[in-house]
Amino acid sequence: MIGLAQSIPPELKRHIAGFCKPAELANLALVNTSYRDEAEVLLYRKISVWFEPKRLSIWDTLKTHSHKAALVRSLTIKFEPNYYAHTLAAESICTALVNTRGLLELCLHLLEEDVAFQAQIQALLRQRYFNLEIFHCSGYFDLPTIVDSQSNSLQILATCDHWNTLSAFQDIARRYPSLKLFSYEQFDYTTSVFNILNIFPALYPNNTFLWDPISKSYNCHDKRIR
């Protein structure tokens, strides 16, 4: 005999899952195996985490369950102020990222001292484990190389808290005039709010400057960015 949970059409289960918050989706996935797939699609689609060295469970999940990692479309990784990403953090995140082949948006703010971690991320981008449409990063990355490696898909590139990106942006805009570029920074470093937005319409003299894509990207990764 088919139970009530199993008899509900897939499209209705998908509709029900759409009303759930992340914690509720996790519970819904346990109700019945017929709900699990629908719940996991939404649960893993957009992941935003504060990195804590003692809590690596999400990265373990993405490393060991490639089918779940493949569901991730947007990933934001935040670190505590002045936190340096140690070797374990870098290895855990990069190994997990290899499986996120459907990833479209990546937001990753690293410090200047995180040289090895930046190199690992750039290697993943060059090898095209995923094809990003949006990339938010610190300005210490090799931006032209990243854009070259992701040029088939990248639509928006944004940097945070780094004042010396203009020359790189000028070079990128000249070679990729359709790519939207902007940066943001903190006026008050005692808070975690990025409250200054820098846009560069002068880089696109032959194209109409489109505000809407930048506005959506600027707000989609962190509600405190405004």
- pLDDT tens-digit readout, 31-78: 777 778 888 888 889 888 876 655 667 888 999 999 999 999 999 887
CB 134 within 8 A of CB 147: no
- Summarize the confidence of residues 88-96 as an average pLDDT: 83
Domain annotation for the chain: domains and CATH numbers = 1-44 (1.20.1280), 51-220 (3.80.10)
Buried b (16+ CB within 10 A) or exposed e, 168-193: bbeebbeebeebbbbbbbeeeeeeee
Going edge to edge, which strands form the sheet with 156-160? 46-50, 74-78, 105-108, 134-138, 156-160, 180-185, 196-199
Enter the pTM of the model: 0.83
CB 208 within 8 A of CB 185: no
Q: pLDDT category, 5, cuts 50, 70, 90?
A: low
- Summarize the confidence of residues 116-126 as an average pLDDT: 90
Q: Residue 178 — φ and ψ, nearest 5°?
A: -90, -10
Is the pLDDT at 82 greater than 60? The verdict is no
